[in-house]
A and B are shown apart, each in its own frame.
Chain A
Amino acid sequence: MTVLATEIRLDEEVPARAPWSARLSAGEELTIVDLGGNQAVDFLLFGWPDTHERYCAAETIAAQGSIFLTTGSVLLSAEATPLMTVVADECGRHDTLGGACSKESNSLRYGQHTRHQHACVENFLTAAIPYGLGKRDLVSNVNWFMNVPVEADGTLGIVDGLSRPGLSLSLRAERDVLVLVSNCPQINNPCNGFDPTPVRMVVSAP
Chain B
Amino acid sequence: MSTATTHGARAHARAQAGTVVSTMATIPASAWPEPPDGVDAADLTWAEVVAPGGYATKVISAGTTLRLTDSEGEACAHLLLYNADQTWERLNVADSVKVPWQAYMTTGHPLLSDQGRALATLVADSTDSHHDALCGAAPEAVHAARYGAGGPWSETPAARELFKLAGAKHDLGVRDLAPSISFFKRVRVAADGGFAVSLAAQAGGSVALRAELPLLVLVVNAPHRLDERREYTCGPLELLAWRGEPTHPDDPLFSATPEAQRALWNSYDYATARGIRR
List the interface of chain A (C-beta within 8 A of B).
52, 56-59, 61-63, 65-68, 78-80, 93, 97-100, 102-109, 111-112, 121, 135-141, 148-150, 152-158
Whose C-beta in chain B lies nearest to the C-beta of A134? B88
Are A107 and B262 closer than 8 Å at their CB atoms? yes
Q: Which A residues touch B27, using CB under 8 A?
A: none
Query: Could you tell me the distance in whole angstroms from the C-beta of B269 to the nearest C-beta in chain A?
Result: 10
Could you tell me the dominant secondary structure of chain B's interface residues?
loop
Which residue on A lies nearest to B174, using beta carbons?
A52
Decide: B180 and A97 in contact? CB cutoff 8 A: no
Q: Are the C-beta atoms of B114 and A138 separated by less than 8 Å? A: yes
For the complex, would chain A's binding face be called helix, strand, loop or mixed by DSSP majority?
Answer: loop
Contact B95 A112 (CB under 8 A): no
Known contacts A80-B139, A98-B94, A108-B116; A66 and B195 CB within 8 A of each other: yes
The one of B92, B174, B263 in contact with A99, judged by C-beta atoms closer than 8 angstroms, is B92
Q: Is B101 an interface residue (CB 8 A)?
A: yes
Distance in angstroms from B278 CB to nearest chain A CB is 22
Q: How many residues of chain B get a CB closer than 8 Å to chain A's CBs?
A: 48
Known: A105-B95, A137-B175, A155-B101. A68 touches B193 (CB 8 A): yes
Given contacts A67-B193, A99-B94, A102-B114, contact A136 B102 (CB under 8 A): no
Q: How far is the CA of A104 from the CA of B117 in the complex (A)?
A: 8
- Please state if A62 and B226 are interface contacts (CB–CB under 8 Å): yes
In the complex, which residues of chain A have a beta carbon less than 8 angstroms from the beta carbon of B26?
Answer: none
Asked if B194 lies at the interface with its beta carbon under 8 angstroms from chain A, I say yes
Partner of A66, one of B99, B112, B194: B194
| 23 pairs, CB–CB < 8 Å, chain A vs chain B | A58-B136, A58-B180, A66-B195, A78-B136, A78-B137, A79-B141, A80-B141, A97-B134, A98-B98, A99-B98, A103-B116, A104-B115, A104-B116, A105-B98, A107-B116, A108-B259, A109-B259, A112-B262, A139-B178, A139-B179, A140-B178, A154-B103, A155-B102
CB of B139 within 8 A of CB of A109, answer no
| B97 sits at the interface (CB 8 A) | yes
Roughly how many angstroms separate A99 CA and B140 CA in the complex, as a whole number? 25
Candidates B97, B99, B195, B266; contact of A109 at CB < 8 Å: B99
Other than A62-B226, A150-B193, give 4 A-B pairs with Cβ distance below 8 A.
A56-B136, A135-B88, A139-B178, A140-B93
Q: How far is the CB of A126 from chain B (nearest CB, A)?
A: 16
**Cβ-defined partner of B139 (8 Å) among A66, A79, A98, A105:** A79
Please indicate the chain A residues that have their CB under 8 angstroms from the CB of B104 in the complex: 153-154
CB distance from A151 to the nearest CB of B (A): 9
A-B CB pair tally, cutoff 8 Å: 139
Given contacts A105-B95, A136-B175, A157-B101, contact A59 B139 (CB under 8 A): yes
Interface 1/0 per residue, B180-195 and A, CB below 8 Å: 1000000011011111
3 tightest CB-CB pairs across the interface, nearest first?
A: A99-B94, A58-B136, A104-B116
Shortest beta-carbon distance from A6 to chain B in Å: 33
Question: Using Cβ atoms and an 8 Å threshold, which residues of chain A touch B102?
Answer: 154-156
Nearest-Cβ distance from residue B80 to partner chain A, whole angstroms: 12
A93, A99, A141, A155 — most chain B CB neighbours (10 Å): A99
Contact B140 A79 (CB under 8 A): yes
> B150 to chain A: closest CB distance in Å?
10
Q: Which residues of A contact B192 (CB under 8 A)?
A: 66, 68
Q: Per-residue CB proximity of B145-181 to A under 8 Å, as 1/0?
A: 0000000000000001000000000000111111110
Q: Is B201 an interface residue (CB 8 A)?
A: no
CA distance A106 to B266 in the complex (A): 12
**Chain A residues whose C-beta falls within 8 Å of the C-beta of B116 in the assembled complex:** 102-108
- Contact present for A58 and B175 (CB under 8 Å): no
Least distance between A81 CB and chain B CB atoms (Å): 8
Cross-chain contact A67 with B136 (CB below 8 angstroms)? no
- The answer to whether A97 touches B225, judged by C-beta atoms less than 8 angstroms apart, is no
A residues within 8 A CB of B92?
99, 140
* CB-based contact A66/B103 at 8 Å: no
Known: A78-B160, A80-B142. A58 touches B225 (CB 8 A): yes
Residues of B within 8 A of A105 (CB): 95, 98-99, 112, 114, 116
Find chain A residues with CB under 8 A from B139 CB: 59, 78-80
Across the interface, do B134 and A108 meet the contact criterion of CB distance under 8 Å?
Answer: no
Q: Mark B83-113, 1 if CB is under 8 A from A, else 0.
A: 0000010001111011101111000000010
